[in-house]
Amino acid sequence: SPAAPWWHDAVVYQVYPKSFADGDGDGTGDLAGVRARLPYLRDLGVDALWFTPWYVSPQEDGGYDVTDHRDIDPVLGTLEQAEALIAEARALGIRTIIDVVPNHVAADHPWFTAATAAAPGSPERDRFWFRPGAGPDGDSPPTGWTSPFGGATWSREPDGDEWYLHLFAPGQPDLNWNHPEVRAEYEDILRFWFDRGAAGIRIDSAAVLMKDPDLPEVPATVTGGNHPFEDRDDVHEVYRRWRQVTDSYDDDRVLVGEVWLADRERLARYVGPEELHTVFGFDVMAAPWEQAALRAAVVETLRTHERLGAPPAWVLGNHDVTRPATRYGREDSSFSYARKAWGIPTDVELGRRRARAMALLTLALPGSCYIYQGEELGLDEVEDLPRDLLQDPMYARSGGSNPGRDGCRVPLPWRADAPGLGFAVTSPAAAPWLPQPAHWADLAVDAQERRADSTLQLYRRALALRRRLFDAGDPTVVWMDLGEDVLAFRRGSGAACVVNLGEGDLVLPDGADVALASAATAPGDRVVPPGTAVWLRP
Ligand code: TEU
């Protein structure tokens, strides 16, 4: 039988370019920085890179407000550099996944400036959602929809009387996906990047593109596809078309959807031979550090994907969520935006320990794993950034009650003793665009390279061992009962993963042969301390 496609069991490293490495010394990460650090990514052992948006953008939402999907933001580099980066990475065996943002564009996108310059009712406006305001004077939003960023999903246009829809920030006007030019434009954007060597596309906010043209209020009970903007049935037409475009290339390309839906049946509808290749599995990330809940999240994710014939894409964190080392140091380690708040008591050492165990858990399961930059260093959320430096619209739009997502986007520490913790690959250099905490010196790449028991060394060993120990192509997961606070399963190869979620030591059965442990254990030792995972040889 032909080999499984690369993305079935890939380890994908998510690069947030502004914060990965600074190649030109201006304090902001860039493509030159990524190119300089490609050997690091090769040594880590990743199979692919996913770049969060690197396009021309006013950067009001970390680049998810795109002005031009066919060019690179000058702060980050040039299109030529992006092409060179894709080719250089590929020469090291590392593929590239790019991020495409179809729901909205930036407010300075030529389509939107043309729309606001045109009179109400003109065709230029049809690519967006313009409506008169509600109320006798038209000074209320047309609907009462609320944004995941907080506040209304409508703003009054800058120099006119109508309102325009933006599910996210006001600087991200929603496109009208019923418009044929919108569809054609994005199909062309896919081709543009496939032609430049992209091996995959991560689809941003994939479930919310389509809107009910009548723009009704959100019903009290949402069933099936009757929500006015979320997970509507007609969104699938778009992805069927995208799949045709993708399949017109070689069968090496992947479409990965960012689909946040609690309903697994509805989520499953996005994946299949005629739609997306796979979707992120957020359930494990959303689950608390607790045996039954974690196991249920794993089982449900596996079950859904088994039926779909597409392996899961496991996620522990990304540029939107509180870093795992911090989350797992909290009483409630599950993720939701509602739980992002200031001053939650956190034991970061405990969190880091548990996050390492979670990494071994997800890396032992069938499917691909997405690692967000810095997870391999055990970086924690930076929660004491000066408030005047916070950039995330989620912070401002919540009136400051939600800390927002800047705390997981702080520039990486590369060298313990260098200014800016070596964020810049050359010197002298401006200070990193967000300040790094002093304790990150211990977490810097060079410091972790010198310590055998560091998180970085654990990730390197895990990535090197993973395919040898667990047969990636075999979906078998057989659960083992090693106690109520233990998550343990054997894979088809006979190798096993055991996670001690309890408070006491776990003694492994006789003959257990530990290949890798997420925390120090004595050689030949069969004791798994609390908050620790081990991989066992067959
Ligand atoms: O995130 C999508 C997003 O924020 C929503 O799906 C939201 O999480 C959900 O509705 C809450 O329940 C993506 C990007 O990852 C993020 O960085 C962007 O800010 C956002 O889209 C807008 O482009």
Q: How far is the CA of 166 from the centre of ligand 1 (A)?
A: 12
Residue 243 has pLDDT above 90, yes or no: yes
**Res. 292 pLDDT band, cuts 50 70 90:** very high
**Res. 329 pLDDT band, cuts 50 70 90:** very high
Q: What is the mean pLDDT of residues 34-57?
A: 98
* Average of per-residue pLDDT values in the chain: 96
Pocket test for ligand 1, best of 205, 267, 394 (most atoms within 8 A of CB): 205
Both tokens assigned to 42:
């090769």
CB count within 10 Å of CB 452 equals 10
Amino acid identity, position 314: W
Please give the residue that has the higher pLDDT: either 96 or 339.
96
pLDDT digits (tens, 9 = 90+) for 419-435: 999 999 999 999 999 99
The per-residue pLDDT for 524 is: 77
**Res. 251 pLDDT band, cuts 50 70 90:** confident
Ramachandran class of 194: left when φ > 0, alpha when ψ lies in -120 to 50, beta otherwise: alpha
Q: What is the mean pLDDT of residues 369-377?
A: 98
The per-residue pLDDT for 338 is: 74
pLDDT digits (tens, 9 = 90+) for 460-473: 999 999 999 998 77
Residue in 97, 95, 90 with CA at minimum distance from that of residue 47:
95
pLDDT digits (tens, 9 = 90+) for 387-413: 999 999 999 999 999 999 999 999 999
Minimal-distance CA residue to ligand 1 atom 11: 148
Q: What is the mean pLDDT of residues 436-454?
A: 98
Distance CA 289, CA 286 (A): 10
* 371 SS3 class: strand
CB count within 10 Å of CB 406 equals 23
Distance CA 77, CA 56 (A): 10
Q: What is the mean pLDDT of residues 373-386?
A: 98
Distance CA 147, CA 103 (A): 13
Both tokens assigned to 275:
């739609």
Helices and strands: H and E segment counts in the chain: 14, 20
Check if the beta carbon of residue 512 is closer than 8 Å to that of residue 336: no
* 6 SS3 class: helix
Please name each of the domains of the chain with its CATH number.
Answer: 110-165 (3.90.400.10), 475-536 (2.60.40.1180)
The per-residue pLDDT for 456 is: 98
Cβ-count burial 173-200 (b if 16+ within 10 Å, e if not)? bbbbbeeeebbebbeebbeebbeebbbb
Both tokens assigned to 512:
């257990």
The per-residue pLDDT for 473 is: 78
The CA angle 127-178-224, to the nearest 5 degrees, is 130
pLDDT digits (tens, 9 = 90+) for 201-242: 999 999 999 999 999 999 999 888 889 999 999 999 999 999
Is-above-0.95 flag for pTM? yes
Distance CA 298, CA 280 (A): 13
Phi, psi of 85 (to 5 degrees): -60, -45
pLDDT digits (tens, 9 = 90+) for 142-178: 999 999 998 999 999 988 899 999 999 999 999 999 9
The per-residue pLDDT for 364 is: 98
Q: How far is the CA of 111 from the centre of ligand 1 (A)?
A: 22
Q: What is the DSSP string of 116-141?
A: HHSPTT-GGGGGB-EEPPBSTTS-B-
pLDDT digits (tens, 9 = 90+) for 296-314: 999 999 999 988 888 999 9
Q: How far is the CA of 69 from the centre of ligand 1 (A)?
A: 18
Distance CA 54, CA 74 (A): 9
Minimal-distance CA residue to ligand 1 atom 10: 148
Q: How far is the CA of 194 from the centre of ligand 1 (A)?
A: 24
Residue 1 has pLDDT above 60, yes or no: no
Q: How far is the CA of 520 from the centre of ligand 1 (A)?
A: 37
The per-residue pLDDT for 2 is: 63
Using CB distances shorter than 6 Å, the residues near ligand 1 are 61-62, 64, 101, 148, 168, 204-205, 258, 260, 319-320, 337
Q: Give start and end residues of each alpha helix (H) in 15-97.
A: 31-36, 38-44, 79-91
CB count within 10 Å of CB 139 equals 11
- Which atom from ligand 1 is nearest to the alpha carbon of 168? 22
The per-residue pLDDT for 417 is: 97
